């Protein structure tokens, strides 16, 4: 009847579908404004009336300006549809829309068409029009909008829907269209138990289905309700139908014909009244409705992720697309207290739901499946298979007819079904915004807005798991006087988090839900699941997993695949696996006695691999004495420096966490040695805060050990990090302590003087900086430390340029570069070329400066030293701009800014240079 979809949906929650894009993310006041404008489309709606409706007798002083803001936002959200305009006019607002843009108007038109057809004797046509209108309803009209004028319109629409429903059912009965209406009538009666016309229609439907006893029982139920509530008897019309049923006669068509018809199942469990988010997943499921679309959708995810909730919500929305019924079966695949349902048992139950007598069901799964597929042939039926164990359990239950659709939920990824052509729909955690909307919907906006920090803590602790959010929200709703901050505090510590999410109902108790997945694991897989809870950082690899469990790498890979298949782990990136945070907490509870040994093995793996990687990244650095690996602990295979940098990049979150874990376990040698291994990588990537954090932890470890050399190293490296962070007083304090400890520790004094020199340089104390570096050179030469000597010479060259002594800088830089070239110190070469570039730049020798800078940039890029590359590119852009090479300068500035963005550093100064370059 209508050429295109409605733009405004009010038969349920208020939504817009401008330009075909659904928008359901409305807050209360903007939604109320839209609803009020939709009451009077194409008419100027007075501003004062809007304020009165939205705020009542005591509007805030800012009401008009706030209304203007809401109108502006509404206009922005609707601008994608050129047929819709919202503008200010004559002291109010005018919403101009096509006549049929609102679903309520379409519904009223269809009701009028249906009534006219019935009046003309076309019961089938009238029923079809009425049914089409009823399909538009998604809930109570204007659901959630609480303003007086809208309430009145909503009540009128709700009343009309009920009248249309009764007329539709009666027209379908007159047309002999079966008894699928019985369950619908029962549902309506539950909400309107005193509406006699519904009971009359129910009695008639049951009688026509040959269910005379049930029709009489319906009469008795009505009699009791009216007597108890109002003290009256049923109406004369109901009494007359009762007499006819008792007499076994009626002017209505007989029941025999109807008994032979298809039994329409309506088995969907109730959908939640608080469904939030999952917009993209709902759109993905809508593809099932298209002709030629996928016949099966496989919803998978960890326990508590909301698979069943999403399935039920979508199934109810789509139910009208399946006029031959909706079947539901709980397959109990991961039920912690029961075995999975046998496919044969499931098919027998489904056949009985379709009206097949139990004595007519053949013996044997193949014969039962064949009959089941025959019964569904050509029917438009939706089948929801909930909590499936695996693809093998599901396959016999799949209809053969292309007109049916199947929605499967499982903790298993159901890869076999996906191979067969099912649409895979893995569910992730709710986003922070959706989690916040979830809590706001469950607890009311005023309560969540009053404690935003507590809400954020709850969101973080529940880690986007809908079940955890639902349990917490229920606890808050049951205790309305409890501050949300108290609930958030109970969730804060891992040791007690699952206690805070416990519930006597096993269906919603998170431990019980997760245990359903755990009990499906075999012994080795369950052991790895437990031990991985001791792994530091957010993710782990097959190699580090093998170390945790002390098992061969191929076995670890197989077990990780099994855990991923059951959604107890997620493969966040190729060969990078991660727990959901609450699943990790559950695994840690199971592994309490096993975790310390697993942690030691993982730390040994990381120390051994990180040390090998650090030596590849900077082979000229003074080595440290690392204990050989424990037998059986795998070490990652890193053939060269590029592979080492790639490994550091992939593993650096786990390595940072490993430093903290080693400290917590009081494995203090491993702690400071891991910090040492990370140093060059963090320096090249400009991760100054990480440098400070790991060396601060390492310093505490060295103090516990009483190791003077390690303590001196930690103090010096920590000071260097503070220099980069411009925390100069802290840096000097650490350096003073380091120098006091380094009196008789050889090159430690030289290294410490070099950092002193860096501190003095950035503070503009050039002479002091040069003096410290010369002292460092003396120590380095005494011990034959060529790399240290070259580094100190380069530092002097840099400071000399800063002080204006550019010719001297060229001499120092040339001496440094000669040594760097001799020993093959590529990182030192890059830094020295940068210093030489600066000296040439300051001397006005722009061509030589560009040459040196470009050489430095090339080396930094080879080394993947992004912080150094960004700094040199900025200086290269400066000299190119001075030469009038605007395009080249812009390119250098842009590359520098992009690198700084990647590193998370402040790029504002470079962006300003880029803008100034034209």
Rounded to 10 degrees, the C-alpha dihedral 903/905/908/912 comes to -50
**Cα(662)–Cα(605) distance, rounded to whole angstroms?**
12
Strand 382-388 with 570-573, pairing: unpaired
**Cα(728)–Cα(732) distance, rounded to whole angstroms?**
6
CATH 1.10.287.3510 fits domain 677-872: no
Are 325 and 381 within 8 A, CB to CB? yes
Query: What are φ and ψ of residue 830, in 5° steps?
Result: -60, -45
Walk along the chain (918 residues) in steps of 10 and give the mean pLDDT of each run. 71 80 76 91 91 88 88 84 86 88 89 85 85 89 91 91 89 71 80 88 82 85 87 87 75 39 79 84 91 89 93 92 92 87 92 79 81 84 95 93 93 93 93 91 86 92 91 89 89 85 88 91 95 93 95 95 92 88 92 91 96 94 89 90 93 95 95 97 92 96 94 94 93 92 73 91 92 92 91 93 93 94 92 94 94 94 91 94 92 93 88 86
**Cα(871)–Cα(868) distance, rounded to whole angstroms?**
5
- Sheet containing 8-9: give its strands across: 8-9, 15-18, 21-23
DSSP 505-539: STTT-HHHHHHHHHTTS-HHHHHHHHHGGG--SS-
pLDDT tens-digit map of 392-404: 999 999 998 888 9
Residue 254: the pLDDT is: 39
Query: What are φ and ψ of residue 533, in 5° steps?
Result: -65, -20
Rounded to 10 degrees, the C-alpha dihedral 397/402/405/409 comes to 50
Query: What are φ and ψ of residue 328, in 5° steps?
Result: -135, 140
The second-level CATH assignment, the architecture, of 521-676 is Orthogonal Bundle (1.10)
DSSP 25-85: ---HHHHHHHHHHHHSTTSEEEHHHHHHHHHTTS--TTHHHHHHHHHHHHHHHHTT-TT-E
**Cα(358)–Cα(365) distance, rounded to whole angstroms?**
14
Residue 252, both tokens: 């209505």
Angstrom distances, CA of residue 79 to CA of 83, 96, 779: 9, 12, 72
Q: What's the pTM?
A: 0.66
Tokens 């679309």 belong to residue: 293
Query: What are φ and ψ of residue 624, in 5° steps?
Result: -120, 165
**Cα(134)–Cα(161) distance, rounded to whole angstroms?**
7
Q: If one looks up domain 1-176 in CATH, what number appears?
A: 1.10.10.10
Q: What H or E segment, with its residue span, contains residue 16?
A: strand 15-18
Q: Which residues touch 479 (CB under 8 Å, ≥6 apart)?
A: none
Q: Is 281 left (phi over 0), alpha (psi -120 to 50) or beta?
A: alpha
Are 9 and 17 within 8 A, CB to CB? yes
Give strand ranges (E) for 389-467: 405-410, 423-426
Tokens 């809870």 belong to residue: 533
Q: Which residues touch 282 (CB under 8 Å, ≥6 apart)?
A: 310, 313, 314, 317
Q: Which residues touch 597 (CB under 8 Å, ≥6 apart)?
A: none
Strand 8-9 with 85-89, pairing: unpaired
> Long-range contacts made by residues 18-27, C-beta under 8 angstroms, separation at least 24?
18/77, 18/78, 18/79, 18/80, 18/81, 18/84, 19/80, 19/81, 21/80, 22/279, 22/283, 23/77, 24/279, 25/437, 27/445
Cβ density class 392-428: b for 16+ within 10 Å, e for less: ebbebbbbebeebbbbbbbbbbbeebbeeebbbbbbe
DSSP 341-372: PPHHHHHHHHHHHTT--GGGSPSSHHHHHHHH
**Cα(799)–Cα(63) distance, rounded to whole angstroms?**
62
Query: What are φ and ψ of residue 637, in 5° steps?
Result: -85, 115
Query: What are φ and ψ of residue 31, in 5° steps?
Result: -65, -40
Are 211 and 355 within 8 A, CB to CB? no
Which class is 279-426 in CATH?
A: alpha beta
């Amino acid at each position: 009847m209508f050429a295109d979809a409605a733009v405004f949906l009010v038969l349920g929650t208020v939504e817009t579908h401008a330009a075909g894009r659904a928008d359901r993310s409305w807050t209360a006041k903007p939604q109320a404004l839209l609803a009020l404008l939709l009451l009077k489309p194409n008419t100027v709606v007075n501003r004062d009336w809007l304020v009165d409706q939205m705020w009542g007798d005591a509007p805030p002083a800012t009401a008009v300006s706030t209304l203007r803001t809401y109108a502006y936002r509404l206009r922005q959200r609707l601008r994608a549809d050129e047929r819709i305009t919202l503008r200010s006019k004559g002291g109010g607002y005018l919403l101009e829309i096509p006549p049929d843009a609102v679903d309520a108007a379409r519904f009223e038109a269809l009701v009028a068409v249906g009534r006219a057809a019935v009046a003309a004797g076309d019961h089938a046509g009238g029923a079809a029009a009425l049914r089409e209108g009823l399909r538009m309803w998604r809930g109570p009209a204007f659901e959630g909008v609480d303003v007086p004028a809208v309430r009145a319109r909503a009540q009128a629409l709700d009343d009309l829907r009920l009248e249309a429903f009764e007329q539709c059912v009666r027209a379908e009965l007159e047309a002999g269209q079966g008894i699928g209406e019985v369950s619908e009538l029962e549902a309506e009666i539950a909400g309107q138990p005193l509406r006699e016309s519904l009971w009359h229609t129910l009695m008639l439907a049951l009688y026509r289905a040959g269910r005379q006893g049930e029709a009489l029982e319906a009469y008795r139920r009505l009699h009791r309700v009216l007597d108890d509530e109002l003290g009256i008897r049923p109406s004369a019309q109901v009494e007359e139908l009762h007499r006819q049923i008792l007499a076994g006669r009626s002017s209505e068509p007989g029941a025999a014909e109807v008994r032979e018809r298809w039994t329409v199942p309506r088995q969907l469990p109730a959908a939640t009244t608080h469904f939030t988010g999952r917009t993209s997943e709902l759109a993905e499921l809508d593809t099932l409705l298209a002709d030629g679309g996928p016949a099966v959708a496989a919803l998978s995810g960890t326990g508590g992720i909301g698979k069943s909730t999403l399935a039920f919500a979508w199934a109810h929305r789509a139910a009208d697309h399946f006029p031959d019924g909706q079947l539901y079966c709980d397959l109990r695949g991961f039920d912690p207290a029961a075995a999975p349902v046998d496919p044969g048992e499931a098919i027998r139950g489904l056949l009985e739901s379709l009206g097949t007598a139990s004595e007519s069901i053949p013996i044997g799964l193949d014969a039962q499946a064949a009959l089941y597929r025959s019964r569904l042939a050509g029917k438009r039926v939706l089948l929801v298979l909930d909590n499936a164990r695996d693809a093998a359990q599901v396959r016999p239950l799949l209809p053969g007819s292309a007109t049916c659709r199947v929605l499967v939920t499982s903790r298993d990824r159901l890869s076999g079904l996906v191979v067969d052509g099912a649409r895979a729909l893995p569910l992730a955690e709710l986003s922070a915004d959706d989690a916040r909307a979830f809590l706001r919907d469950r607890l009311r906006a005023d309560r969540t807005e009053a404690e935003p920090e507590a809400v954020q803590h709850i969101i973080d602790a529940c880690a986007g798991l809908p079940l955890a959010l639902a349990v917490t929200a229920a606890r808050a709703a049951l205790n309305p006087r409890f501050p949300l901050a108290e609930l958030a505090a109970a969730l804060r510590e891992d040791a007690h988090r699952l206690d805070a999410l416990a519930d006597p109902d096993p269906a919603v108790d998170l431990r019980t839900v997760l245990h359903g997945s755990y009990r499906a694991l075999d012994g080795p897989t369950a052991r790895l699941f437990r031990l991985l809870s001791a792994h530091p950082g957010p993710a782990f690899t097959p190699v580090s997993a093998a170390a945790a469990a002390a098992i061969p790498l191929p076995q670890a890979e197989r077990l990780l695949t099994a855990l991923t298949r059951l959604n107890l782990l997620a493969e966040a990136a190729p060969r990078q696996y991660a727990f959901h945070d609450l699943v990790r907490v559950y695994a840690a509870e199971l592994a309490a006695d096993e975790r310390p040994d697993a942690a030691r093995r993982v730390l040994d793996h990381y120390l051994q691999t990180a040390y090998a990687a650090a030596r590849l990244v900077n082979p000229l650095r003074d080595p440290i004495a690392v204990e050989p690996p424990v037998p059986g602990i795998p070490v990652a295979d890193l053939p060269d420096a590029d592979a080492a940098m790639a490994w550091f990049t992939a593993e650096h979150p786990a390595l940072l966490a490993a430093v903290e874990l080693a400290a917590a376990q009081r494995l203090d040698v491993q702690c400071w040695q891991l910090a040492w291994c990370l140093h060059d990588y963090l320096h090249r990537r400009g991760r100054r805060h990480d440098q400070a954090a790991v060396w601060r932890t390492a310093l505490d470890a060295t103090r516990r050990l009483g190791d003077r050399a390690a303590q001196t190293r930690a103090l010096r490296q920590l000071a260097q990090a503070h220099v980069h962070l411009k925390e100069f007083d802290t840096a000097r304090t650490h350096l003073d302590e380091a120098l006091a400890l380094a009196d008789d520790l050889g090159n430690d004094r030289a290294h410490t003087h070099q950092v002193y020199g860096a501190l003095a340089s950035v503070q503009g104390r050039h002479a002091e900086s040069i003096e410290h570096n010369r002292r460092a050179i003396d120590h380095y030469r005494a011990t034959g430390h060529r790399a240290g000597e070259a580094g100190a010479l380069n530092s002097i060259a840099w400071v000399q340029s800063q002080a204006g002594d550019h010719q001297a800088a060229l001499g120092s830089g040339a001496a440094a570069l000669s040594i760097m070239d001799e020993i093959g110190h590529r990182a030192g070469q890059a830094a020295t070329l940068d210093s030489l570039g600066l000296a040439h730049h300051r001397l006005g020798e722009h061509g030589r400066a560009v040459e040196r800078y470009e050489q430095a940039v090339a080396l930094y890029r080879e080394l993947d030293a992004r912080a150094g590359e960004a700094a040199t590119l900025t200086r290269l852009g400066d000299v190119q701009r001075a030469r009038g090479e605007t395009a080249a300068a812009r390119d250098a500035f842009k590359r520098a800014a992009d690198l700084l963005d990647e590193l998370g550093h402040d790029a504002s100064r470079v962006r300003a240079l880029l803008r100034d370059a034209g």
